[in-house]
Amino acid sequence: MREYAPEASFASWAFRFAASQEGVARVLSGMNTVEQVMDNTATFRDFRPITEEELGIIRQVTGIIEKHTPIPCTACSYCTHGCPKGIAIPEYFALYNSISRTTGSFSSHAVYYNNMSLRHGKASDCIGCRQCERACPQHLPITDYLKDVAAKFEAGSSFPTRK
């Protein structure tokens, strides 16, 4: 993306992609700075639909991201509000994904997981009520993923966790 359009922000790629889809009437954005507001308004002031060539670049990028993101969670946290066990679902998924991008030891991830699980439910505390899955806009099989998380972080753990 940088090579193809050095001046274009990543947000402008995303907006142009979203707004170019058939049937899309509005594109929403969260903005934290005036610079982001300026960038976004500039994108739509001179709106250019995404081209086939640019779509090919986006596909390359998403392929790279997907390869290193075994759990496609977007960290919206809609799933956590009704969890009777207070499981830190998106945080655990982010840790799990982070490991897949780590080449060396993941001992720091294990420490972070265990610190988190002192304040939240562990992945293995899940009782399978599936409230979270009904709330997830990505329709992720959260309960299955939590089993993967538990297998990764809790097997043979020598750290204290919340009872």
Binding mask 79-118 for ligand SF4 (x = CB under 6 A): x---xxx-x-xx----------------------------
Name which of 64, 73, 62, 58 is nearest 4 in CA terms: 58
Based on the shown chain and the rule CB under 6 A, indicate whether residue 132 belongs to the binding site for ligand SF4.
yes
- Min CB(35)–ligand SF4 separation in Å: 27
Number of residues that bind ligand SF4 (CB under 6 A): 27
Pair 52, 95: CB distance under 8 Å: no
Indicate the residue among 87 and 110 with the shorter CB distance to ligand SF4: 87
Q: Name the residue with tokens 């309960």.
A: 143
Q: Which tokens sit at 111?
A: 């420490």
Q: Least distance to ligand SF4 from the beta carbon of 125, Å?
A: 7
C-alpha count within 13 angstroms, C-beta hemisphere, residue 92: 32
Contact 43, 12 (CB under 8 A): yes
By the criterion CB under 6 A, which residues form the site for ligand SF4?
73-79, 83-85, 87, 89-90, 126-132, 135-136, 138, 140, 142-143, 146
